[in-house]
Amino acid sequence: MRYQSTRGGAANLSFTEAVMTGLAPDGGLLVPADIPDVSAKLDAWSSLHYCGVANAVMSLFIDDIAPDALTDLIARSYASFDHPEVTPVFTSGELHVLELFHGPTLAFKDVALQFLGNTFDYLLKAQGAHLNILGATSGDTGSAAIAGVRGRDNVDIFVMFPDGRTSPLQERQMTTVPDANVHALAIEGSFDDCQSILKAIFRELDFKAEYSLGAVNSVNWARVLAQVVYYFVGYFRVGHDGPIDVCVPTGNFGNIFAAYVARRMGLPLRRLVLATNANDILARFFRSGRYSRGDVHLSLSPSMDIQVSSNFERYLFYNLGCDPGKVRSVMETFEATGDAQLNFNTRVYDEAFAAGTADDAATLGAIGRTWAEHQYLLDPHTAVGVAVAEDYRAQAGDNVPMLCVATAHPAKFPDCIADVLPGVPATHPTLQALESMPTRKTVLPADVDAVKSVIRDARR
């Protein structure tokens, strides 16, 4: 399989090149040259274990890693999950929940980052190279990136976070990791300061080249690919003979884009129901065809407090007939004005999608109702999805099963759960164990040179 940029400036890249490049040089995202139709294989795949499905799906898109090596990468990536099915489906009555939170940090990003971390390490070893990953987190995503590469020989990771401004739990998830290649940098400043430092360092091309700096951002194609797998697994476990709907709590559009790829591969997903919190740029788009930036609102589901969704451009590429010229023109308009109108006259922008929004009150309502009806605890991100899914099913008025995607374990958000359901414990042994573990962090002023010197000193 070859890869090309959504904006036309790069083409004919191998999978390895696509993974190591991340963002295309023309500012576009990398997409496969075509998406194979696998409808004829679904029966045969339906009884496979998670890793078998992963092999079947991923090997269609990866032809430059030997089959045995790919099988081994997949097996090692998902051995770190605490459930034998990796992403099991919980069912109670009409509620079906695809649990993506059984990885080491209890959030769905582990599914992609465990695979990406192993793949980076494998490719770097083959090239005899070393990579320094630099990232900034407001709390939640840093730990999944750390867990993906901890203990790896050919990668060091530096994660900046605003000192004292993440939750104590989030900080412990980053600072209790003992591996020497992990550097938790507590910056005396805000998350914006961390991001400014990140951008400033990535702009220094000499430093970037000398220290082989890279990122694990959500636009890496390997992350999307790893996420396509669980839509197949989820569909098989629901066990319905015919199409189902899926509902995905959405921020950067990575997770639901993976569902879109699975649908284009022939998986019978009728509707992809996109759920947002008050940050509703995408929900508005799928109702109106107008892509227009708003202000960022803080919500109970912080990992979805995003206005501009980096993976959306990949969807546009397919939606605009794989025409890089059209993608470029829409993205240039949007980047310049914060507003792009794609379609004036239709009520539904794309038959594949439905969209809805749940504010904080609706989120809490879904947590309370789901506990009362099913004795099942939702984290606030998953609850946004469940609230939107309930609205959607009430409107659709049919019996097509709905698979709701669970993106985090509720124990990661104990305060929110305690607000709605006082007395119901939201705990997890992995998180409890962190409380007694030693922590390690480097406190630094919000200063570019301070961060650069830590990277310099870590050279091995």
Ligand X SMILES: *Cc1c(COP(=O)(O)O)cnc(C)c1O
Find the catalytic residue in 41, 109, 125, 441. 109
State which residue, 30 or 107, has the beta carbon closest to ligand X: 107
**135 contacts ligand X (rule: CB under 6 A):** no
Closer to ligand X by Cβ: residue 211 or 312? 312
The phi-psi region of residue 268 (left if phi > 0; otherwise alpha if psi is between -120 and 50; otherwise beta) is beta
Q: Please answer whether residues 274 and 286 qualify as being in contact, where contact means their C-beta atoms are separated by less than 8 angstroms.
A: yes
Question: Binding of ligand X at residue 252 (CB under 6 A)?
Answer: yes
Asked if 32 is part of the footprint of ligand X (rule: CB under 6 A), the reply reads no
Q: Does residue 250 interact with ligand X by CB under 6 A?
A: yes
**Interface with ligand X, residue 251, by CB under 6 A:** yes
Tokens found for residue 348:
């539904």
320 close to 326: Cβ distance less than 8 angstroms: yes
Residue 4 or 252 having the CB closest to ligand X? 252
Active site residue 109: yes
Q: Give the one residue of 407, 411, 416, 420 binding ligand X; rule: CB under 6 A.
A: 407
Q: How far is the CB of 291 from ligand X (least distance, A)?
A: 16
Looking at residues 209 to 238 of the shown chain, list those that interact with ligand X (rule: CB under 6 A).
218
The number of residues making up the chain comes to 460
279 is a contact residue toward ligand X (CB under 6 A): no
Q: Please calculate the CA angle 304-306-311 and round it to the nearest 5 degrees.
A: 95
The closest of 229, 273, 287 to 61, measured between CA atoms, is: 229
* Of positions 303, 319, 357, 363, contacts ligand X by CB under 6 A: 303
Is the Cβ–Cβ distance between 373 and 366 less than 8 Å? no
Work out whether the CA dihedral 79, 82, 85, 87 comes out positive or negative.
Answer: negative
Pairing of strands 402-406, 95-99: parallel
Residues 6+ apart with CB under 8 A from 26: 5, 7, 8, 9, 10
Which 348-387 positions form the footprint of ligand X (CB under 6 A)?
Answer: 381
- Considering the rule CB under 6 A, would residue 249 count as an interface residue with ligand X? yes
Q: Does 143 bind ligand X (CB under 6 A)?
A: no
Using CB under 6 A as the binding rule, whether residue 255 contacts ligand X is answered as yes
What is the binding site for ligand X (CB under 6 A)?
107-109, 140, 218, 249-255, 303-304, 381, 407-408
Q: What residues are annotated to the active site? A: 109
